Amino acid sequence: MRLADRAVLITGAASGIGWGMAKAMAREGARVAIADIDRAKVEQRVAELGGAAYGVTADVGDLAEIDRMVSSVTAHFGRLDVMVNNAGVTRRCAFMDIDEALWDQVHRVNAKGVFFCLQRAAREMISQGGGVIINTASIAGRGYPGTSNAAYAASKGAVITMTMLAARALGRHNITVNSICPGVTRTELAQNIMQLQSEKEGRPLADIEAQAARGIPIGRMNEPDDIAEMAVFLASPAARNITGQSINVDGGLIMM
């Protein structure tokens, strides 16, 4: 197995892309810690995953909670080999309708949360001699015009930049840092956004989904497993010499 006995912590792991990653990494032999703000969902997912799964609730916008989360997982597993910063928030909002509250809500989790989770995990990895950090960015951070809102796009652009800077700072400690940039992905969050668009425009949800897929060269939206397989690769020894990269998984929407 590609991740045999590796201790993995995934934030935002109770649903969507994070849950897809948790299942994929567990199948590859990892001991997976599922972190999420929703306690009930965490308990449900730990029960579903079984085996060496561990659950922890945390608000990644709160530094004290980040410290508690990483300390708890490290104490439970004895080490932290892979940190996946996946937790994120957004909602559809027009450019001129973005207010300070939305900006702060999005950046508190998507930018601040990612940085301080990354930094806290790196402290553990430095002391143990290395590790892997994977950030979930987005093609929104590359300027994809179909993004849910500009605040979200800016937060994901920050993740892409942080990934490069962290890779430079942490490489000498045998820590690789990469990010994955998903395109349009069939998750609960994405479905909710498309449902709101459907209601606002008075069009069937199937039309909204077809429109989203129409511009994708490969002709279909991502499933969470598409992102999960890239995460497994980046967490595995096969990616030991890859760092500072932000890799699109989007069916060809953004070719850069």
Same domain for 142 and 194? no
pLDDT given for residue 83 in this prediction: 99
Percent pLDDT > 70 in the chain is 100
> Over 80: is that where the pLDDT of 189 sits?
no
Residues annotated catalytic, as ranges? 152
Residue 230 falls within a domain, yes or no? yes
In whole angstroms, how far apart are CA 230 and each of 89, 192, 207, 250?
Answer: 21, 25, 29, 12
- State both tokens at 122: 């790196």
* pLDDT average, residue stretch 69-81: 98
Residue 35 falls within a domain, yes or no? yes
**How is residue 240 annotated by DSSP?**
T
Residue 254 falls within a domain, yes or no? no
What does the chain come to in residues?
256
Same domain for 97 and 191? no
pLDDT given for residue 146 in this prediction: 87
Helical residues (DSSP H) of 129-237, grouped into ranges: 150-170, 188-201, 205-214, 224-235
Residue 24 belongs to a domain with what CATH number? 3.40.50.720
Same domain for 16 and 76? yes
Q: Mean pLDDT over all residues of the chain?
A: 95
Same domain for 77 and 191? no
Residue 1 falls within a domain, yes or no? no
**pLDDT tens across 195-251, in order?**
888 888 898 988 887 877 888 999 888 999 999 999 999 999 999 999 999 999 999
pLDDT given for residue 214 in this prediction: 82
Same domain for 17 and 143? yes
Same domain for 165 and 215? no
**pLDDT tens across 89-144, in order?**
999 899 999 999 999 999 999 999 999 999 999 999 999 999 999 999 999 999 99
pLDDT given for residue 192 in this prediction: 78
Same domain for 157 and 99? yes
- State both tokens at 85: 């910063």
* pLDDT average, residue stretch 38-61: 96
What confidence tier does 188 reach under pLDDT thresholds 50, 70, 90? confident
Same domain for 102 and 120? yes
| CA dihedral for 242, 237, 252, 209, sign (positive or negative) | negative
Residue 126 falls within a domain, yes or no? yes
Same domain for 203 and 131? no
pTM here is 0.93
pLDDT given for residue 208 in this prediction: 80
Residue 91 falls within a domain, yes or no? yes
pLDDT given for residue 158 in this prediction: 98
pLDDT given for residue 209 in this prediction: 79
Count of domains forming the chain = 2
User: Residue 191 sits in which domain range?
Assistant: 186-221
Same domain for 56 and 132? yes
Same domain for 106 and 145? yes
Same domain for 235 and 122? yes
pLDDT given for residue 137 in this prediction: 98
